[in-house]
Amino acid sequence: MDKYIAANWKMNNDFSDIPSYVEYLDKNLENKNNVVVCVPHVMLKTFADAANGIVETGAENCYFAEKGAYTGETSAKMVKSAGASYVIIGHSERRQYFGETNEIVSKKIAAALSAGLKVIFCIGEKLEQKENFKEVLNEQIVDGLAGITDFSDIIVAYEPVWAIGTGVVATIDDIKTVHAYIKSVLKEKFGVDLPILYGGSVKPENSAEIMALEDVGGVLVGGACLKADSFAQIAKSR
Ligand code: PGA
């Protein structure tokens, strides 16, 4: 199966970037399987319409309630109906700036799955937790996936917080060790073998080496995905 190439625009780019971004990917990517671009909610419909049949569209978040008085929130069903097929849940920026706990993450995963979305479930330790990564990741995985019985639409993304947007990429040895650990937790606790993406300062210069690793199921890219040519180079390196 093709490894996943996922872009996370975060709160960057604009409506005016969408047509040229999609057109570039369309023209320059021979293999568009499992290529997903996650964009801000407000741009989902426009992006999904432009990308229809070219690449997959994803959201960067969703709320866990189905509907109701939650001013400013967007349900998983709304995300799906805007044309997205994926959603990122539990990104470290959501955990850090918006108080998302493992319990909230778990509810969001359940809501996204029941709306028919594929979930990119993010986990990762902070710099001060690096020595202790096993405990942190184990808890994020076990609590985040609590109650899930069907794992077929879940992809895990390991993103060490200290490597996100910092230019500091985890070493190949770090990635091998941590991905093997995550794989073992998923197997032991849930009996599943899920794709595990790596994220954190992935760029065209390092993506091939990272994606060549057996336990790496693809990459989740922030800064280096904002320009279509750089993202396409990463996608071509798998
Ligand atoms: P980065 O972000 O590639 O800019 O480090 C990755 C992410 O946060 O998903």
Q: What is the pLDDT of residues 86-108, one digit of tens each?
A: 999 999 999 999 999 999 999 99
Q: What is the pTM of this model?
A: 0.98
Residue 55 has pLDDT above 90, yes or no: yes
Q: Across-strand partners of 155?
A: 120
For atom 7 of ligand 1, which residue has the closest CA? 222
* Per-residue model confidence as pLDDT tens digits over 183-213: 999 999 999 999 999 999 999 999 999 999 9
Give the separation between CA 181 and CA 46, rounded to whole angstroms. Answer: 39
User: Is 159 a known active-site residue?
Assistant: yes
Task: Name the region of 162 (left: φ>0; alpha: ψ -120 to 50; beta: rest).
Answer: alpha
Tokens representing 185 are 């937790």
Give the separation between CA 154 and CA 148, rounded to whole angstroms. Answer: 10
Please report the pLDDT score of residue 169 as a whole number: 86
SS3 123: strand
User: Which numbered atom of ligand 1 lies nearest the CA of 199?
Assistant: 6
Confidence band of 73 (pLDDT split at 50, 70, 90): very high
Mean pLDDT of the residues in the chain: 97
Contact call for residues 62 and 108 (beta carbons, < 8 A): yes
Q: Across-strand partners of 122?
A: 157
For atom 3 of ligand 1, which residue has the closest CA? 222
Q: Which among 56, 91, 125, 179 is annotated as catalytic?
A: 91
* Per-residue model confidence as pLDDT tens digits over 150-186: 999 999 999 999 999 898 889 999 999 999 999 999 9
Contact call for residues 139 and 106 (beta carbons, < 8 A): no
In the chain, how long is the greatest CA-to-CA distance?
A: 47
- Using most ligand atoms within 8 A of CB, pick from 4, 164, 207, 231 the residue to mutate for ligand 1: 164
Give the separation between CA 191 and CA 194, rounded to whole angstroms. Answer: 10
218 phi/psi in degrees, rounded to 5: 145, -165
User: Domains in the chain, ordered, with CATH?
Assistant: 4-236 (3.20.20.70)
Please report the pLDDT score of residue 221 as a whole number: 98
Confidence band of 1 (pLDDT split at 50, 70, 90): confident
